[in-house]
Amino acid sequence: MPGRVVLELGVGAEDRPAARRIVAEDRDNVTLLTNAYVSRLETGADGRRVERVVVERDGERLELSADVMVVSAGAINSAALLLRSASDAHPDGLGNGSGVVGRNLMLHNNSSLIAFSNTPNPTKFQKTLGINDFYFGDGDWPYPLGAIQMLGKSDAVVIPFDDPDHPDPADLALHAIDFWLTTEDLPRLDNRVTVKLDGGISLSYRPTNIEAHKRLVAKFKSLLETMRCRNEVRDNPHYLGGKLGISAVAHQNGTVRFGTDSTTSALDVNCKLHELDNTYVVDSSFFVSSSAVNPTLTIIANALRVADHIADRLR
Ligand SMILES: Cc1cc2nc3c(=O)[nH]c(=O)nc-3n(C[C@H](O)[C@H](O)[C@H](O)COP(=O)(O)OP(=O)(O)OC[C@H]3O[C@@H](n4cnc5c(N)ncnc54)[C@H](O)[C@@H]3O)c2cc1C
């Protein structure tokens, strides 16, 4: 029936089609399964189509099927899902004949920096300002430095996480002006997501382009006096912020890169896995470079682009 989408749920492979079927009568209906962990994507024998999405939910194993599959679990988890879905047809991970799935993980060089103003900063909606004046370089450094933007405003609840002994966190928060500095990091094959035998995820990441980031931070600090902030060194200097490490994966991207060459990319330009006919990846996995801006608007724009492509395909 045109416009009809059927999701079949079965407990185990034997009893499909399932006792329970979720049927959406048209494409305007969306059925959302919460607390549903996708553990594997399974293909038919020829390896060309994902035919089963294996889901763990409330202690039950479910299987879903659909004509077109879209993976969007975030760059780390999408790569991990493809790697976990290795099979005879895809021995190195689903759609991973190129070997790039999980590789080229980028996180950005990010630093949070908290400046303290002589005058109070009572703003509620601070995260509305960004400065790209040094994005492409600065004077004697002709290479890109990155972006400076505001962070969400510190408050009396947040301050003690970094400076638990401060006698008056509310006052400190009132004077805080919170900045976020981002410099591009570069794709490296060895910066990667791997999956351990027990299914756990492991990240290997060596930062790149550090010099540019150091220069961006130095440039920013040199502007503080002009901005009438004083760079206060308190008993706990960590409160002044600093470069975020591997645990800061907020801007994760690049692990299932797209491209025209199936030997160096996992996805084609429509974000479909080169080696499969019905499976797309539409989160930041597809990035081939990270630029120095927050990723989400790019993720959304690309997802809409791919959605148009899939809609055309289903017409
Ligand atoms: C503190 C913080 C602040 C941020 N601020 C900004 C900002 O100001 N601007 C900006 O552009 N970006 C920001 N980001 C980044 C932004 O949140 C991400 O870029 C964006 O959410 C990525 O969207 P996504 O849909 O690709 O992935 P996600 O939003 O991560 O969604 C992936 C979903 O998949 C689910 N999932 C993962 N694995 C599985 C699985 N195996 N089975 C089932 N479900 C699974 C996850 O639970 C999650 O719901 C911030 C991130 C953080 C953490």
| Interval between CA 128 and ligand 1 midpoint (Å) | 20
Determine if ligand 1 sits within 6 Å of the CB of residue 77. Answer: yes
Paired tokens of 25: 């009568």
Average pLDDT over residues 211-219: 94
- The whole-number pLDDT of residue 239 equals 44
Determine if ligand 1 sits within 6 Å of the CB of residue 73. Answer: yes
Q: Provide the pairing of β-strand 192-195 with 50-57.
A: unpaired
Residue, of 144 and 22, whose pLDDT is higher = 144
pTM for the structure as a whole: 0.89
Phi-psi region of 106 (alpha: psi -120 to 50; beta: other; left: phi over 0): beta
- The whole-number pLDDT of residue 115 equals 82
| Interval between CA 74 and ligand 1 midpoint (Å) | 6
Residue, of 189 and 178, whose pLDDT is higher = 189
Average pLDDT over residues 163-177: 87
Nearest 10 degrees: CA dihedral of 63, 64, 65, 70? -130
- The whole-number pLDDT of residue 200 equals 92
Determine if ligand 1 sits within 6 Å of the CB of residue 282. Answer: no
Determine if ligand 1 sits within 6 Å of the CB of residue 299. Answer: yes
Q: What mean pLDDT value characterizes the chain?
A: 87
| Interval between CA 142 and ligand 1 midpoint (Å) | 33
Average pLDDT over residues 299-314: 96
| Interval between CA 296 and ligand 1 midpoint (Å) | 9
- The whole-number pLDDT of residue 54 equals 95
| Interval between CA 247 and ligand 1 midpoint (Å) | 14
- The whole-number pLDDT of residue 124 equals 85
Window from 175-179, 197-201, 240-244, 272-276 with minimum mean pLDDT: 240-244
Determine if ligand 1 sits within 6 Å of the CB of residue 210. Answer: no
Dihedrals phi, psi of 183, to nearest 5 degrees: -120, 145
Where do the structural domains in the chain lie, given as residue ranges? Answer: 5-103+254-314, 109-243
Determine if ligand 1 sits within 6 Å of the CB of residue 269. Answer: no
Best of 64, 127, 296, 300 for a ligand 1 pocket test (most atoms within 8 Å of beta carbon): 296
Window from 168-172, 234-238, 242-246 with minimum mean pLDDT: 234-238
Domain 5-103+254-314 coded CATH 3.40.190.10: no
Is the four-CA dihedral 6, 12, 13, 14 of positive or negative sign? negative
Determine if ligand 1 sits within 6 Å of the CB of residue 74. Answer: yes
pLDDT tens for residues 239-271?
A: 456 667 777 899 999 999 999 999 999 999 999
Q: Where residue 133 falls among pLDDT bands split at 50, 70, 90?
A: very high
Report the candidate in 182, 183, 184, 186 with the shortest Cα–Cα distance to residue 104: 186
In whole angstroms, what separates CA 279 from the centre of its chain? 19
Tokens 């502007």 appear where? 223
- The whole-number pLDDT of residue 23 equals 43
